[in-house]
């Protein structure tokens, strides 16, 4: 098994589980990760997903066996492989439930891309991350789609053109991660925030994510129209009715699984 899953109440922890090879995004690991995400989406009791790596690394990126054969694999096979990675990054980025990366160690190339695709990120103070593809003649094309949304064009250019590894503090300064924490606390901190988020309305969480994915590509007027529709639609949901009732009754809300 290249992916392990464990549940912490309403939070599902997904662990990349190829520690001896530093959790590379091999075809087998990518396939199992996609299956784990599918299962987490279908499970109504799961509200938040936390993603981390087994062993000392989050993910070292490309599978070395793949790298040995990439230049002779042929255009069709290479395109199929690229599409699989694109589907993974898109799946994580648009996942209807909040996702948190617990970056326990180095996150490099595709591994950095996977962490970047998550909604939130906690990073070990000793970890490094980098989009290093340019160093060996690759292009960090897939993650570039997401990275420029996070940090803007200038910072994305610096990261992708230099290919350098950056510290946790620099990743925080650039807006790539939300918090930098001691290494032994990174997973606990991520799970704690996940538990907090999991208590909120599932409909509100999903709709907020959908809006945030759509808004960067919209103009001002179009964005406000979509936001107004979302604002009106959510008023018809059971989650809002329960939230308002709980507010006036001075009790915690009891949101139903969706």
How many C-beta atoms surround the C-beta of residue 44 within 10 A? Answer: 11
What's the N-to-C CA distance of the chain in angstroms?
29
218 half-sphere exposure, CB direction, 13 A CA radius: 14
**Between the CA of residue 125 and those of 105, 164, 168, 243, what are the distances in Å?**
9, 17, 5, 38
Q: Which of 133, 222, 236, 249 is catalytic?
A: 133
Residues 6+ apart with CB under 8 A from 239: 201, 202, 203, 204, 255, 256
- The string over 84-115, giving b where at least 16 C-beta atoms fall within 10 Å of a residue's C-beta and e elsewhere, is ebeebbebbbebebbbbbbbbbbbbbbbbbbb
Please give the Cα distance from 171 to 48 (Å, whole number).
23
- For 76-105, the DSSP string reads HHHHHHHHHHHHHHHHHHT-SS-EEEEE-S
Q: Is 84 a catalytic residue?
A: no
Query: What order of strands is seen across the sheet that includes strand 107-108?
Result: 107-108, 128-130, 166-167
Are β-strands 107-108 and 120-124 bridged in parallel, bridged antiparallel, or unpaired? unpaired
Q: Which residues are catalytic?
A: 133
């Amino acid at each position: 098994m290249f992916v392990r899953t464990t549940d912490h109440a309403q939070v599902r922890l997904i662990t990349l589980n190829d520690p001896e090879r530093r959790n590379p995004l091999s075809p087998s690991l990518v396939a199992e990760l996609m299956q784990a995400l599918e299962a987490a989406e279908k499970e109504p009791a799961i509200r938040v997903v936390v993603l981390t790596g087994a062993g000392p690394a989050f993910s070292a990126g490309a599978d070395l066996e793949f790298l040995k054969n990439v230049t002779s694999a042929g255009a069709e096979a290479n395109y199929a492989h690229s599409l699989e990675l694109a589907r993974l990054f898109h799946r994580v980025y648009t996942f209807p439930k909040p996702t948190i990366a617990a970056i326990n160690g180095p996150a490099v190339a595709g591994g950095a891309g996977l962490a970047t695709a998550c909604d939130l990120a906690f990073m070990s103070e000793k970890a490094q991350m980098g989009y290093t593809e340019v160093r060996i003649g690759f292009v960090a094309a897939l993650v570039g789609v997401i990275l420029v949304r996070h940090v803007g064009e200038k910072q994305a250019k610096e990261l992708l053109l230099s290919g350098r590894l950056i510290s946790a503090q620099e990743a925080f300064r650039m807006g790539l991660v939300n918090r930098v924490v001691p290494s032994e606390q990174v997973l606990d901190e991520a799970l704690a925030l996940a538990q907090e988020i999991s208590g909120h309305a599932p409909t509100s969480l999903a709709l907020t994510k959908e809006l945030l994915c759509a808004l960067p590509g919209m103009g001002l007027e179009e964005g406000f129209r979509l936001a107004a529709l979302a604002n009106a639609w959510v008023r018809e949901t059971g989650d809002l009715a329960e939230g308002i009732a709980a507010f006036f009754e001075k009790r915690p809300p009891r949101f139903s699984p969706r």
